[in-house]
Amino acid sequence: MAGELTLRVITPDRIVVDEPVESVQVPALDGSMGILPRHAPMVAALQVGVLRYKAKGGEKVLFVSEGFAEVRGNVLRVVCEAGETAGEIDEARARDAEKRARERLAKKGNGGGAAEFDAARAEAALHRAMMRLRVLEYGSRERVRT
């Protein structure tokens, strides 16, 4: 492989990751996008999902919220509202959020307007909770392997 790529995951509160990596997979709006060293300059919108990357210590995963990714000069900057490692995710809270969202979706009516808005919010909350739980699942697999 030709060199390394620097991955920086930036949220309003902190820099979650700033390290050299071999490859990154980001949850772009159009689907998962792979980025390797010497990638052409680009900007892509991101959706809520799992960001995976390979570094010297093996494969790692993060939960990321909506945001964007920019590749420039062998640096990938991911700017998002939230970025969490498996160790930072509260499993009980994520499971509660999933349960609440599923209950709201089960109760959604056909009235339109406010009901449609509430359903969209519940679907977004469900997706965020499920992605956090997926990061926990991947994180636990990595701890078993090492």
Taking only the tens place, the pLDDT of each residue in 93-128 is 999 888 988 888 887 655 555 566 677 888 888 888
- pLDDT band at residue 143, thresholds of 50, 70 and 90? very low
- Three-state SS for 79-101 is EECCEEEHHHCCHHHHHHHHHHH
Q: Over the stretch 82-95, which tens digit does the pLDDT of each residue have? A: 999 888 888 899 99
> Residue 96 is which amino acid?
D
Q: CA–CA separation, 128 vs 134, rounded Å?
A: 10
Q: For the chain, how many residues are written?
A: 146
Would you state the torsion angle of the CA atoms of residues 9, 18, 87, 91, taken in this order, to the nearest 10 degrees?
0
The CATH homologous superfamily of the domain defined by 5-86: F0F1 ATP synthase delta/epsilon subunit, N-terminal (2.60.15.10)
In CATH terms, is domain 90-145 a member of 1.20.5? yes
Q: Is the confidence at residue 1, as pLDDT, over 50?
A: no
Q: Over the stretch 43-82, which tens digit does the pLDDT of each residue have? A: 999 999 999 999 987 899 999 999 999 999 999 999 999 9
Q: CA–CA separation, 4 vs 144, rounded Å?
A: 27
Beta-sheet pairing, 15-21 with 31-35: unpaired
pLDDT of 63 reads: 93
pLDDT of 141 reads: 60
CA 112 to chain centre: 30
For residues 48 and 128, the answer to whether their CB atoms sit within 8 Å is yes
User: Which pTM was predicted?
Assistant: 0.80
Q: Where are the domains of the chain?
A: 5-86, 90-145
Q: CA–CA separation, 34 vs 136, rounded Å?
A: 21
Quote the tokens at residue 8: 């920086």
